[in-house]
Structure 1
Amino acid sequence: MALENGIPDFNITVTGNPARPGIVFLHGFLGSGIDWMPVSELLDDRYRSILVDLPGHGGTWLPAEAEPESFFSATVDALACKLKSSFPGPLFLAGYSMGGRIALALLLRHQELFVKSVIVSASPGLAKDEERRERIRSDDGIARKIELNFEGFIDAWYDQPLFATLKAHPLFREVEKMRKQSSPANLAASLRLLGTGRQPSLWNELKHNRVPVLFFVGEKDVKFVEIGHQMVNLCPDSALELFPGCGHTLHIENRGLFVERLKAFFNIHHTSNKQT
């Protein structure tokens, strides 16, 4: 689906029991809503899974004329409107990496929509203007690599230490094959519009949270473990849960534990005790 007047028209796949509460799943960069299908299948009939294709991914496209300065916030607000109109009733929220950043913004700005949330391997963005400007320059360079040599970019992307545990996982080749089927032009545009440098910092908004939230991080993902501790210290009604032996893609590396913890959190009354 394309965009109208610069506002995303989201392609969404729905699975599970339509009579049950919905879980909104937001995928990471290079992915699509279908990435969450193996997780949704393990939820049985307890929930309805709402698998969203974010702009530039899957069936949600991007126009070249989208406004970089405002597109992240426009995406968050448009998704909130879509969820409110199409999926009334109690909603849970889960997002990974890029989808985790968008999920966190969605949670903080539209708290009335959600019962609980799980944020996976994600951050509230960059706190300083100069950090964001530098990240925009870096992401522009990465976007050019995507446009010039997409397969070479994919190979280099997964050579990052961030994905070392994923590369050693039996599912890596399947993940890599799926990524290479994506549209390079759309992914490059998405990075320029929704990259971390284009995201308004959410660090100062964390203190306003009133929705129970868990931050899931792989114990080997050192950078995001530190970010997770910082977020928990600032965010009311939140806790950090580490996944033993996992890196950035913990929901793939240990899918069984991910689903177990997700269901445990969504199924029980939340307490605000901090955990590590």
Structure 2
Amino acid sequence: MDVLRRNNVTVTGRPGGPPVVFAHGFGCDQLMWRHVAPAFEADHRVVLFDHVGAGGSDLAAYDPVRHSSLDGYAADVLEVLEALDLPPAVFVGHSVSAMIGVLAAAERPERFAHLVLVGPSPRYVDDTGYRGGFSREEIDELLATMDHNYLGWSAHVAPMIMGVPERPELGRELTDSFCRTDPAIARRFARTTFLSDNRADLPRVRTPALVLQSREDVIAPPEVGRYVHEHLAGSEMVVLDTTGHCPNLSAPEQVVAAVADYLAA
């Protein structure tokens, strides 16, 4: 299979420039980076793609076995990097893609120069001595609601995830993005996302990393961002002065500035 077609890969920016790869979160596609990625095109080779099942990806490539764990999505990322024959890349992963990037970097560290993890969470379910933000009962209820009425769930939950009620157009955009995603794949990806536990994978990573955390986030609260930072050796953390789980849409200028400053250091 053509890997680049499978993941709807697009490449812009300066040919031969150091590569920056942007990976979107659950229910989204590469358009979610449209306010961030262009800022890096003058100096970098910019790579965007859609996870299988999202955006313009090849839905026929979705494998219920391979994609039942985040490792399958990490394998997809590594195949994209190999197909492009990129030098070590900066991988910017939002939400679930942050952990996908962690898994890929742990497996093939030579492929990565830096990780930028936007709203990361290694485990969404609370555990003894760990706050993920949700009880197991809350996650089970969320998944059951998705199974019963995915479109209704999207309309209800997306504005809360976006977290900027004063800008309702962003909540509507996220709702529309959720609704464009194949519902069956989205429901399975939600289980893979919200039931994963990647805490033990963080110490496996030796790639320098930046954790970007919104000061308020109902999906990945600040405690989770600090946990990721504390368990990634040599990582840095920046708390963005914004609310919600999608600062790439709600505060793109802050995301651009934080990433640019980190890469320039």
- Above 0.5 in TM-score? yes
Q: Where does structure 2 lack aligned partners over 5 or more consecutive residues? A: 129-133
Give 1:107 shift: 2.3
**Is 1:204 equivalent to 2:200 in the alignment?**
yes
Q: Which residue of 2 aligns with 1:37?
A: 34
Report the CA distance shift for 1:68/1:224 in structure 2 as closer, same or farther (over 3 A): farther
Q: Distance in 2 between matches of 1:98 and 1:86?
A: 23
Q: Distance in 2 between matches of 1:102 and 1:22?
A: 18
**1:234 alignment partner AA:** H
Q: Which residue of 2 aligns with 1:271?
A: none
Question: 1:166-181 maps to which residues of 2 (within 5 A)?
Answer: 167-169=165-167, 171-172=169-170, 173-181=172-180
The DSSP-based 3-state class of the residue aligned with 1:45 is: coil
Q: Distance in 2 between matches of 1:81 and 1:69?
A: 14
The DSSP-based 3-state class of the residue aligned with 1:244 is: strand
Give 1:104 shift: 2.2
Report the CA distance shift for 1:250/1:128 in structure 2 as closer, same or farther (over 3 A): closer
**Is 1:121 equivalent to 2:124 in the alignment?**
no
CA contact (8 A) 1:56 1:189 kept: no
**Is 1:157 equivalent to 2:162 in the alignment?**
no
Report the CA distance shift for 1:253/1:79 in structure 2 as closer, same or farther (over 3 A): same
Question: 1:1-276 maps to which residues of 2 (within 5 A)?
Answer: 9-60=6-57, 61=59, 66-67=64-65, 71-125=69-123, 137-138=140-141, 140-145=143-148, 148-150=149-151, 152-160=152-160, 162-165=161-164, 167-169=165-167, 171-172=169-170, 173-192=172-191, 194-197=192-195, 199=196, 201-221=197-217, 223-268=220-265
Q: How many residues are aligned here?
A: 256
Q: Distance in 2 between matches of 1:149 and 1:66?
A: 19
Give 1:90 shift: 2.6
Give 1:93 shift: 0.5
Give 1:62 shift: 5.5
Q: Distance in 2 between matches of 1:186 and 1:205?
A: 25
After TM superposition, the score normalised by the length of structure 2 is: 0.82
Q: Can you list the C-alpha shifts for 1:173-225, whole angstroms capped at 9, x where unaligned?
A: 44444443333333234324x3221x3x3212322322110110111126521
The DSSP-based 3-state class of the residue aligned with 1:210 is: coil
Indicate the percent of aligned positions where both proteins have the same amino acid. Answer: 22
Give 1:86 shift: 1.5
Report the CA distance shift for 1:163/1:240 in structure 2 as closer, same or farther (over 3 A): same
Q: Distance in 1 between matches of 2:229 and 2:127?
A: 23
Q: Distance in 1 between matches of 2:259 and 2:227?
A: 22
Q: Distance in 1 between matches of 2:44 and 2:117?
A: 18
CA contact (8 A) 2:22 2:37 kept: no
Q: Which residue of 2 aligns with 1:273?
A: none
Farther off after superposition, 133-142 or 72-81: 133-142
The DSSP-based 3-state class of the residue aligned with 2:20 is: strand
Q: Can you list the C-alpha shifts for 1:58-110, whole angstroms capped at 9, x where unaligned?
A: 12226676127854212212321221231321310001112222122222222
Report the CA distance shift for 1:168/1:62 in structure 2 as closer, same or farther (over 3 A): farther
Q: Where does structure 1 lack aligned partners over 5 or more consecutive residues? A: 269-276
Report the CA distance shift for 1:84/1:133 in structure 2 as closer, same or farther (over 3 A): farther
Q: Distance in 2 between matches of 1:91 and 1:65?
A: 26
Report the CA distance shift for 1:14/1:21 in structure 2 as closer, same or farther (over 3 A): same
Give 1:171 shift: 4.7
